[in-house]
Amino acid sequence: MILLNKKYNFYFHSWIITLILLLILMIIVGGYTRLTDSGLSITEWELFSGILPPLNENQWVKYFERYKEIPQFQILNSEMNLAQFKYIFFWEYIHRILGRFIGLFFLIPFIFFYIKKIFSREYNYKFLLIFFLILFQGFIGWYMVESGLVLNVSVSHYRLALHLFFAFIILSSLTWYFLNFISSKNKSFFNISKELLSLKIFIFLLYLQIILGAFVSGLDAGKIYQTWPLMNNNYIPDDINYYNFIDLNNHSVVQFLHRNVAYSILIISLYILYNLIKSNNVKLIKNYFLVFVILITQILLGIFTLLSNVHIPIAAIHQFTSVILIITTLRFYHNSLI
């Protein structure tokens, strides 16, 4: 059990639901920040001084002059004016403010719950770990931004993937704890038995696909080979060979892997569906149908994103759907465990 005192059920329920919604919003804003190349618009961490946005023209000019010093402006955006800078600044600023707000919104109620001793000892430790992950996530965010300030015109795709992966770890953990709360069952996510093996492989591949998606986004690898199902008339593009097949700095390799992990996920999803129909478990079939529909939608959005030359609204919906897919899959997995 998560709570020792049912008197606080409503408060805990409201708190964790709001946290999940805030994290979903954070991932959406973070994705849009990357798609609009806004992440390097604020070139200093400004943990406390950056709480307020620029309030006058002099402050705006000061931020813009700092941005002019980095390679992204000098190489890609040298013709950008102040009005255009304000647009990209807005997305990065909102992203940072949301991060601060989530940290405080987690910490203050958690302290209250801890003082009231409403959590079991196990969940005291689990929520404390989540708080440290949130703090660490803020550090990773700056570590990511820092990679694009000196030699590069964008952030490191490795650091971007790490930043996104931890966001999904925090979201997934809170979602799992919420599912335990509403079901009044303390189920463990890390079940190492062979039971539900295909579903566990499916979930593993989903998280792997999120990392690869961050690689694609970080390298702008979606702006090459904008054909489907083949990559310019070939299944394996001409510039991939034995020597560079695992080179994750290669745009072609990253897009090829992202495509093929998607195909693997689809195949496993069909296998899971077949087994469910075979077992005639009506309740689980209904739960899984939602997962399957979202998965198909996600795959189609990925294809449309590619064919549209990474049209930002389509790409943003594609990223948002990945969040919904993870949450619905976790719900299905939780319901499937005995």
* Separation of alpha carbons 33 and 242, rounded Å: 35
**CA-CA-CA-CA torsion sign (108, 113, 114, 120):** negative
- The pLDDT tens digits of the residues spanning 82-120 come to 999 999 999 999 999 999 999 999 999 999 999 999 999
Q: Where are the domains of the chain?
A: 1-186, 187-338
Q: Which of the residue ranges 127-141, 143-157, 171-185 would you say has the lowest mean pLDDT?
A: 143-157
Q: Give yes or no for residue 1 having a pLDDT over 70.
A: no
Q: How confident is residue 242, by pLDDT bands cut at 50, 70 and 90?
A: confident
The answer to whether 240 and 221 are in contact (CB under 8 A) is: no
pLDDT at position 66, please? 94
pLDDT at position 49, please? 76
- The pLDDT tens digits of the residues spanning 284-315 come to 999 999 999 999 999 999 999 999 999 999 99
| Cα-based distances in Å from 222 to 49, 75, 227, 229 | 36, 21, 10, 14
Average pLDDT, the chain: 93
* Separation of alpha carbons 134 and 166, rounded Å: 9
Helices (H), the chain: 9-35, 57-67, 71, 82-115, 121-146, 157-183, 197-219, 251-279, 282-307, 312-336
Q: Give yes or no for residue 2 having a pLDDT over 90.
A: no
* Separation of alpha carbons 102 and 97, rounded Å: 9
Q: Give yes or no for residue 153 having a pLDDT over 90.
A: no
Tokens 């939602």 belong to which residue? 290
Q: How confident is residue 45, by pLDDT bands cut at 50, 70 and 90?
A: confident
pLDDT at position 46, please? 81
- The pLDDT tens digits of the residues spanning 59-85 come to 999 999 999 999 999 999 999 999 999
**How far apart, in Å, do the first and last CA atoms of the chain sit?**
16
| Cα-based distances in Å from 189 to 17, 47, 154, 179, 283 | 19, 34, 35, 11, 20
* Separation of alpha carbons 144 and 155, rounded Å: 6
**CA-CA-CA-CA torsion sign (247, 249, 253, 257):** positive
What residues have CB less than 8 Å from 240, skipping those under 6 apart? Answer: 250, 252, 253, 256
Q: Which two tokens stand for residue 327?
A: 């949450």
- The pLDDT tens digits of the residues spanning 110-144 come to 999 999 999 999 999 999 999 999 999 999 999 99
* Separation of alpha carbons 322 and 164, rounded Å: 12
pLDDT at position 63, please? 93
